C-alpha cells in the first residue's frame, strides 16, 4: 500500500500522521484497497465481530503492531472504546499484545483468526447442545397442567426470517411428515434447498415428493441422480418470486421474500391453517397438471 501523509494541527505545532486506507478518497491510490477492506469488514460481521472490532483487526493486520494510542488516533475512535475492543479481541484470541512499554498489539493472520472464531462458535454450539439435553430432561420431569380446549387447538401462524432458520423449519417439516411433500419454487430457491441438504432429506425419506420449478426450461444439473419423475417445469411463467412448501396437507411454509433476495433477507410464513393449505395445494395440483415433464 502506498503511504500518504496528512498534517494535524496541534497547540505547539503540526503533527504529521500517516493516512490509513480507511480514509482514502475516490481517485487516490488507496481507494481500491478501501473498497476491498469494506467488503472484508462486512464479511467479518458474519463471524461475530462488530464494525469497529473488524476495523481495528484489519488495521492491526495491515499496519500493526500498534499501540492503543496509535489505533484510536489513526482510526479516530473513542479512546475508551478502543481499549475495550483491544481487550475483547485479545480475549477472542485474534490479536496479541506484545510485552513492551507502551504495549503494542498485533493481529493474527486472517486465516488463523477466522479458524479461531469458527472453533469458538463450535464450542458454544457443543455447550448449547448439552444444555439442550439437560433442559429437555428437566422440562419432561415437570408435569403438564395444560387442559386441551378448542382454544388450544386454534390454527397457528409463525413468521420465519433468514435462510438458516427457514431451512431448519423445512427440515423439521420433513421430519414430521408421513406421506407427502410438495414444493413450488424457482431454480434459485431449489439451489438453496439443495445446498442446505433439504433435497437430500427428501430423497432419503419415504415421502411422495413432487416439485414444480417456475420459471424453468429444464431440470438443473446440480440435482444429479434425483428421480426426474418427481420434478416438472413451467417455462412460460413470468414470475420468479413464488415459493411454497406443503407437508401432508398439515402445514405450509410460503415465502414472502424468496431467493430473489439476499439470504439474510429471506422471509416466510408457516401456518397449519386447513383452508390456506387446501387452497395452496389445489393451486399446486392445477399447476402440476399444466406443467411440463423433463427427461
- Provide DSSP, 56-72: HHHHHHHH-SEEHHHHH
d(Cα 162, Cα 19) in Å, to the nearest integer? Answer: 38
Is pLDDT above 60 for 216?
Answer: yes
CA 194, 242, 236 angle in degrees (round to 5)? 95
Asked whether the beta carbons of 85 and 51 are under 8 A apart, the reply is no
Mean pLDDT of 47-68: 91
Residue predicted with more confidence, 192 or 9? 192
In this prediction, residue 22 has a pLDDT band, given cuts at 50, 70 and 90, of: low
Greatest mean pLDDT among 24-28, 140-144, 207-211 lies in 207-211
- Listed range (5-19, 102-116, 146-160) with the worst mean pLDDT: 5-19
Is pLDDT above 90 for 279?
Answer: yes
Residue 153 placed within a domain:
no
The pLDDT of residue 5 is 45
pLDDT in tens, 111-145: 999 999 999 889 988 898 889 989 999 988 988 77
User: Could you tell me if 171 and 289 lie in one domain?
Assistant: yes
User: Could you tell me if 170 and 98 lie in one domain?
Assistant: no
The pLDDT of residue 24 is 64
The pLDDT of residue 31 is 72
Asked whether the beta carbons of 249 and 276 are under 8 A apart, the reply is no
Residue 145 placed within a domain:
no
The pLDDT of residue 149 is 62
Helices (H), the chain: 31-45, 51-63, 68-75, 79-91, 110-141, 163-176, 187-195, 198-203, 274-289
| Residue 166 burial (10 A CB sphere; 0-12, 13-18, 19+) | buried
User: Could you tell me if 106 and 162 lie in one domain?
Assistant: no
Is pLDDT above 60 for 96?
Answer: yes
Mean pLDDT of 184-203: 93
Residue predicted with more confidence, 17 or 176? 176
In this prediction, residue 21 has a pLDDT band, given cuts at 50, 70 and 90, of: low
- Listed range (40-49, 86-95, 176-185, 277-286) with the worst mean pLDDT: 40-49
Residue predicted with more confidence, 203 or 25? 203
Among 53, 82, 110, where does a domain finish? 110
Mean pLDDT of 197-211: 93
User: Could you tell me if 97 and 177 lie in one domain?
Assistant: no
Residue 265 placed within a domain:
yes
Q: Is the pTM of this model over 0.75?
A: no
In this prediction, residue 2 has a pLDDT band, given cuts at 50, 70 and 90, of: very low
User: Could you tell me if 168 and 289 lie in one domain?
Assistant: yes
- What CATH number corresponds to the domain at position 189? 3.30.870.10
d(Cα 152, Cα 154) in Å, to the nearest integer? Answer: 6
- What CATH number corresponds to the domain at position 102? 1.10.10.10
User: Could you tell me if 70 and 163 lie in one domain?
Assistant: no
Q: Please state whether the peptide bond connecting residue 215 to the residue before it is cis, i.e. omega within 30 degrees of 0.
A: yes
Among 71, 86, 110, where does a domain finish? 110
The rounded radius of gyration (Å) of the Cα atoms in the chain is 27
User: Could you tell me if 61 and 187 lie in one domain?
Assistant: no
- Listed range (84-93, 143-152, 164-173) with the worst mean pLDDT: 143-152
User: Could you tell me if 85 and 201 lie in one domain?
Assistant: no
Strands 231-233 and 208-213: parallel
Range of the domain at 91: 4-110
CA 127, 132, 135 angle in degrees (round to 5)? 120
Residue 135 placed within a domain:
no
Is pLDDT above 50 for 1?
Answer: no
Mean pLDDT of 193-201: 92
| Cα four-point dihedral sign 195, 197, 202, 203 | positive
User: Could you tell me if 106 and 166 lie in one domain?
Assistant: no
User: Could you tell me if 209 and 283 lie in one domain?
Assistant: yes
User: Could you tell me if 98 and 212 lie in one domain?
Assistant: no
Residue 244 placed within a domain:
yes
The pLDDT of residue 166 is 94
Residue 260 placed within a domain:
yes
- Listed range (82-86, 151-155, 179-183) with the worst mean pLDDT: 151-155
Among 93, 110, 127, where does a domain finish? 110
Residue 37 placed within a domain:
yes
Domain total of the chain: 2
Share of the chain above pLDDT 70, in %: 87
Residue 77 placed within a domain:
yes
In this prediction, residue 19 has a pLDDT band, given cuts at 50, 70 and 90, of: low
Mean pLDDT of the chain: 86
Is pLDDT above 60 for 17?
Answer: no
User: Could you tell me if 94 and 195 lie in one domain?
Assistant: no
Amino acid at each position: 500500500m502506498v503511504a500518504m501523509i496528512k498534517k494535524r494541527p496541534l497547540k505547539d505545532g503540526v503533527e504529521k500522521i500517516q493516512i490509513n486506507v480507511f480514509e482514502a478518497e475516490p481517485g487516490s491510490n488507496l481507494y481500491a484497497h478501501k473498497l476491498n477492506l469494506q467488503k472484508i469488514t462486512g464479511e467479518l460481521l458474519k463471524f461475530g465481530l462488530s464494525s469497529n472490532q473488524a476495523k481495528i483487526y484489519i488495521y492491526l493486520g495491515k499496519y500493526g503492531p500498534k499501540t492503543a494510542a496509535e489505533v484510536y488516533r489513526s482510526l479516530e475512535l473513542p479512546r475508551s472504546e478502543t481499549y475495550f475492543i483491544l481487550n475483547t479481541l485479545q480475549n477472542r484470541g485474534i490479536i496479541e499484545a506484545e510485552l513492551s512499554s507502551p504495549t503494542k498489539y498485533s493481529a493474527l493472520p486472517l486465516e488463523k483468526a477466522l479458524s479461531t472464531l469458527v472453533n469458538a462458535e463450535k464450542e458454544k454450539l457443543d455447550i448449547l447442545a448439552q444444555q439442550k439435553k439437560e433442559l429437555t430432561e428437566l422440562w419432561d420431569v415437570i408435569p403438564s397442567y395444560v387442559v386441551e380446549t378448542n382454544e388450544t387447538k386454534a390454527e397457528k401462524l409463525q413468521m420465519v426470517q433468514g435462510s438458516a432458520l427457514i431451512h431448519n423449519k423445512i427440515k423439521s417439516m420433513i421430519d414430521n411428515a408421513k406421506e407427502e411433500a410438495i414444493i413450488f419454487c424457482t431454480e434459485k430457491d431449489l439451489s438453496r434447498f439443495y445446498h442446505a441438504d433439504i433435497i437430500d432429506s427428501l430423497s432419503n425419506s419415504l415421502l411422495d415428493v413432487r416439485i414444480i420449478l417456475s420459471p424453468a426450461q429444464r431440470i438443473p444439473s446440480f440435482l444429479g441422480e434425483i428421480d426426474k419423475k418427481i420434478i416438472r417445469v413451467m417455462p412460460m411463467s413470468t414470475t420468479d418470486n413464488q415459493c411454497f412448501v406443503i407437508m401432508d396437507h398439515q402445514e405450509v411454509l410460503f415465502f414472502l421474500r424468496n431467493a430473489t433476495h439476499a439470504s439474510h433477507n429471506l422471509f416466510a410464513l408457516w401456518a397449519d391453517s386447513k383452508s390456506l393449505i387446501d387452497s395452496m395445494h389445489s393451486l399446486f395440483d392445477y399447476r402440476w397438471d399444466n406443467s411440463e415433464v423433463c427427461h
